[in-house]
Structure 1
Amino acid sequence: MRIVSLSKDISLKRPLEMGNAEQMKTVKMVLADVKSRGDAAIAEYSEKWDRVKLHEFRVSTEEINHAKANFDAELLKDLEEAAHNIRVFHEKQKRSSYQVDVENGSFIGQRVSPLDAVGLYVPGGSAAYPSSVLMNVIPAQVAGVERIVIVSPPNDQGALPDAVLVAASILGIEEIYKIGGAQAIAALAYGTESISPVDKITGPGNVFVALAKREVFGVVAIDMIAGPSEIAIIADETAYADEVAADLLSQAEHDPMACPILLTTSDFFAHEVAHEVEKQLTKLPREKIARAAVEKFGRIYVAETMEDIVEAVNKLAPEHLEIMTSNPQVVAQQVRHAGAIFIGRYSSEPIGDYFAGTNHVLPTNSTARFSSPLSVDDFIKKTSIIYYTQETWLQHAPKIARLARMEGLEGHARAVESRGWAKEMDQS
């Protein structure tokens, strides 16, 4: 990894995943085609891009049962325990409706209610991501969403990974479709003959999925446009170079565009980690991917003080932040912007990815300055409630009419006055 002085440049160094003109053209074409022709268009794109001819998009009960029957018992227990941890954490995020009594029997308030239907995109094809199922479905269930749909691209045999189906089964999700790409996003947003539309789409995907989600925003809600993974590690000479290197590579192996960064006050430690990264890269099964990320976006920043490092991290607002210093709790208190903070030697980033219970869907590309991890809040909506009695209306109608006229909105003023406040005032 390249070692540089912190004073030179500090950034995530990647553009947002905006796509090029040709990709955008393809996405718009697919969205319009699925909106127009429905299932027929999805079948054609599945055959073209996923190399599979599907007669039924929906995963059958037999397929789910077969996945469960062939699944490793120990892994099943691991998934069930992870699901439990995630549910316990997200249960704490539940909101309640409330009412504020005003006067004369009037009140205002807020009603909190779940979305009716949400769709979860799970990346697939040659990979399996059951953790994505858990992280997206569970907060939606805690929020009270009644209909939860999973879409995921099939392999060339027209099947989804057993792990994905088992994770869905653990959570009781049965509406699962073997479709991916922009066509899956179109199906969720617009609906087809066999797939009813949803109100919100969550979950990560490739550039075509990201562009499609951005394009349908407004027809449906979306969670975020997530970029490639990133990790920043704050470490001093008390940390272990091999452990820091392993954590950097845990994110580098995700994507050639991933961004692994180390910030330290020790030049000696910086060189130790750089050596360890190279050593471990040669033994990593996904070496090609991880090496591309390390060489293009990986950096080790050496700073004079820990204060300089904290200031830089707050500018970076990284997706994942690990703190491995002699006083990690103190340093963590000074960090304002990060998607998730992992404190101390034994809080390696994958713990949050899979098991601790916190959500691993996190803001990227420095958006942690203003965005939050996926949560129960993403699957609810809030409705304002206003109830004025005649007495309260009579007391405040003249004030409201004056404010409306101040803004030049005579219709607003007359709407209030149409209840006859002048007449009521004359009679009082």
Structure 2
Amino acid sequence: MNTPNLNIQRFDTRHDNVSVVLQRLRQQLSPRGDVVSEAGRKKTMEVFGAPLTPAEVVQRICQDVREQGLAALLNYTQRLDHAAVDAASLSVSEHDLRAAHDNADPEFLATIRRIRRNIVEFQTAILHQDVVVQRPPNVTLRQRYTPLQRAGLCVPGGAAAYPSTVLMTAVPAQVAGVQQLAVVAPPTNFGANNPDILAVCYELGIHEVYRVGGAQAVAALAYGVDGMPKVDKIVGPGNLFVALAKKQVYGEVDIDSIAGPSEVVVIADDSTRADFAAADLLAQAEHAPGASILISWSQDLVEQTVTQLNAQVQQLSRCQLTVHSLEAYGALILCRDEQEACELTNEIAPEHLHIATEHAHRLCEKIVNAGATFLGNYSPVALGDYAAGPSHVLPTSGTARWASGLSANHFLRSSSVIEYSAEALGEIAADIGRMAEKEQLTAHRASVTIRK
């Protein structure tokens, strides 16, 4: 397929206010619950009888599922997804899970097993362990980590099938020791009806898979409905409505994040392979939408990358979608030097960062705001998406300034265990009493002095 040369936004930090540009890009891609598109207006008029904003839609759905349970869940699945799911077919049967696994390509299953080993190895290595501190006389302090009992995993299924998301959410939870996992995916050929997704679930020992997606699935996981018990935590990516629903139910359950579209920053210099840099930019734009940003202090590298983008995009199965994504959300930024490249990257706080420069490790130490970082010409972002070991569920929309990617540790809760002997309590009793007096909490003081 031939397309005209890409019209990607280009900026030079010597002349352009790049901070304003980056802020505008972030606003375009951040989950917004207050904007009603024409398509959204038509859809909400059809379903709700009013032009509701996405936030209002999610609030209505969550409230109805909470109050009406299974009936509301099935009703919204019918009206929004046009899928005839009833109480009997809501859960994928054990027979269907086993059949998908039995009929799966053996090489695909072998791939799943190898990737699972990588994830288990990494997640086990970083898993929090109990810490015990002892001090005389006879004081024992313990930080105790225990797994959540039940987690819900959201698997997208609108535009493509994502069996990798099952691996990247379920395996960290299993490493943490979560015993019950419930997968929700839309009732589509890319979702809960997809044989690859079902085969992965069966391979991982997941036997709860529900044919439901969107905000109604998140609400059902949070509040519970007949045949679908509530969970303790909801993780996994999804569209705007899934993100807003997770925000809505947070507090009833824990969530991983309120995620926006995928994003990558590639930092490049004269040593970078332009064809590699272009391939990484295209890989994110292919999500459509997805933000793809190149930062370099080499004019030649920028021009070579443009040439490669125009050549490679022609070969993609999602060519038109990728072109639109690049032109709407992509940027090529020529900066002064590597120091400015690091400063811009910390400002962006990207989900994915690929440092493909000669001194990649040096730059890595200067950049603290990134969900996942990939170093060198032979560490493409797709490694993290599919196989390396860290989860591909990462902070987006600048939240890498304070948020972390999903890991086994997010499925643990910690609590302290404190044990003092009579002698140990006696040694610190005066300090406790003094603090209690300052706060005028005499019962606190008495609870210590009574033990003398």
Normalising to structure 1: TM-score of the pair?
A: 0.93
In the TM superposition, residue 66 of structure 1 has moved relative to its aligned partner by 2.0
In the TM superposition, residue 381 of structure 1 has moved relative to its aligned partner by 0.5
Match for residue 131 of structure 1 among 151, 164, 169 = 164
In the TM superposition, residue 327 of structure 1 has moved relative to its aligned partner by 2.5
- 1:114-129 equivalences under 5 Å are 114-129=147-162
In the TM superposition, residue 272 of structure 1 has moved relative to its aligned partner by 2.0
Query: Which residue in the other structure is 1:152 paired with?
Result: 185
- Where 1:128 maps in the other structure, the secondary structure is coil
Query: Which residue in the other structure is 2:26 paired with?
Result: 14
1:90 aligns with 2:123: yes
Query: Which residue in the other structure is 2:46 paired with?
Result: none
Query: Which residue in the other structure is 1:36 paired with?
Result: 67
- Where 1:14 maps in the other structure, the secondary structure is helix
Q: How many residues align?
A: 419
In the TM superposition, residue 311 of structure 1 has moved relative to its aligned partner by 2.0
Decide whether the 8 Å contact of 2:157 with 2:189 is kept in 1: no
**CA deviations over 1:379-419 (Å, ceiling 9, x no partner):** 001011112222222222222121122123334334334x2
Q: CA–CA distance in 1 between the matches of 2:159 and 2:315?
A: 22
Q: CA–CA distance in 2 between the matches of 1:137 and 1:351?
A: 18
Query: Which residue in the other structure is 2:390 paired with?
Result: 358
Query: Which residue in the other structure is 1:338 paired with?
Result: 370
Q: CA–CA distance in 1 between the matches of 2:428 and 2:436?
A: 13
Decide whether the 8 Å contact of 1:153 with 1:180 is kept in 2: yes
- RMSD over aligned Cα atoms: 1.8
- Where 2:379 maps in the other structure, the secondary structure is coil
Decide whether the 8 Å contact of 1:2 with 1:274 is kept in 2: no
1:188 aligns with 2:197: no
Q: Residue 287 and residue 187 in structure 1: after superposition, are their counterparts in 2 closer, same or farther (change >3 A)? A: same
- 1:299-310 equivalences under 5 Å are 299-310=331-342
**CA deviations over 1:217-262 (Å, ceiling 9, x no partner):** 1110000111111101111122222221111010011122x21111
- 1:280-295 equivalences under 5 Å are 280-295=312-327
Q: CA–CA distance in 2 between the matches of 1:175 and 1:156?
A: 18
Q: Residue 408 and residue 278 in structure 1: after superposition, are their counterparts in 2 closer, same or farther (change >3 A)? A: farther
Q: CA–CA distance in 2 between the matches of 1:395 and 1:275?
A: 74
In the TM superposition, residue 349 of structure 1 has moved relative to its aligned partner by 0.8
Decide whether the 8 Å contact of 1:230 with 1:259 is kept in 2: yes
In the TM superposition, residue 158 of structure 1 has moved relative to its aligned partner by 9.2
Decide whether the 8 Å contact of 2:192 with 2:198 is kept in 1: no
Q: Which amino acid aligns with 2:81?
A: D
Q: Is the deviation greater in 265-274 or in 218-227?
A: 265-274
**CA deviations over 1:91-121 (Å, ceiling 9, x no partner):** 1012221222233323221111101111101
Q: Is the deviation greater in 394-403 or in 77-86?
A: 394-403
Q: CA–CA distance in 1 between the matches of 2:355 and 2:331?
A: 16
Q: Is the deviation greater in 404-413 or in 292-301?
A: 404-413
- Where 2:358 maps in the other structure, the secondary structure is coil
- 1:259-270 equivalences under 5 Å are 259-270=291-302
- Where 1:416 maps in the other structure, the secondary structure is helix
- Where 1:75 maps in the other structure, the secondary structure is helix
Query: Which residue in the other structure is 2:254 paired with?
Result: 221
Q: CA–CA distance in 1 between the matches of 2:139 and 2:314?
A: 70
Q: Is the deviation greater in 137-146 or in 89-98?
A: 89-98
Q: Is the deviation greater in 378-387 or in 278-287?
A: 278-287
- Where 1:92 maps in the other structure, the secondary structure is helix
Query: Which residue in the other structure is 1:279 paired with?
Result: 311
Decide whether the 8 Å contact of 2:151 with 2:178 is kept in 1: yes
In the TM superposition, residue 157 of structure 1 has moved relative to its aligned partner by 11
Q: Is the deviation greater in 81-90 or in 272-281?
A: 272-281
Query: Which residue in the other structure is 2:280 paired with?
Result: 247
Consecutive unaligned residues of structure 1, counting only runs of 5 or more, are none
**CA deviations over 1:101-149 (Å, ceiling 9, x no partner):** 2333232211111011111010114521111000101111111111111
Q: Residue 276 and residue 158 in structure 1: after superposition, are their counterparts in 2 closer, same or farther (change >3 A)? A: closer
Q: Residue 34 and residue 336 in structure 1: after superposition, are their counterparts in 2 closer, same or farther (change >3 A)? A: same
1:314 aligns with 2:346: yes
Query: Which residue in the other structure is 2:38 paired with?
Result: none
- Where 1:160 maps in the other structure, the secondary structure is coil
Q: Residue 156 and residue 284 in structure 1: after superposition, are their counterparts in 2 closer, same or farther (change >3 A)? A: closer
1:406 aligns with 2:415: no
Q: Residue 159 and residue 198 in structure 1: after superposition, are their counterparts in 2 closer, same or farther (change >3 A)? A: closer
Decide whether the 8 Å contact of 1:317 with 1:369 is kept in 2: yes
In the TM superposition, residue 361 of structure 1 has moved relative to its aligned partner by 1.0
Q: CA–CA distance in 2 between the matches of 1:154 and 1:137?
A: 20
Consecutive unaligned residues of structure 2, counting only runs of 5 or more, are 1-7, 35-51
Query: Which residue in the other structure is 1:298 paired with?
Result: 330
Q: Which amino acid aligns with 1:5?
A: D
In the TM superposition, residue 159 of structure 1 has moved relative to its aligned partner by 4.9
Decide whether the 8 Å contact of 2:185 with 2:192 is kept in 1: no
Decide whether the 8 Å contact of 1:67 with 1:163 is kept in 2: yes
1:2 aligns with 2:3: no
Decide whether the 8 Å contact of 2:26 with 2:398 is kept in 1: no
Q: CA–CA distance in 1 between the matches of 2:379 and 2:431?
A: 57
Decide whether the 8 Å contact of 1:3 with 1:270 is kept in 2: no
Decide whether the 8 Å contact of 1:52 with 1:158 is kept in 2: no
Normalising to structure 2: TM-score of the pair?
A: 0.88
Decide whether the 8 Å contact of 2:262 with 2:287 is kept in 1: yes
Q: CA–CA distance in 1 between the matches of 2:57 and 2:189?
A: 22
- Where 1:282 maps in the other structure, the secondary structure is helix
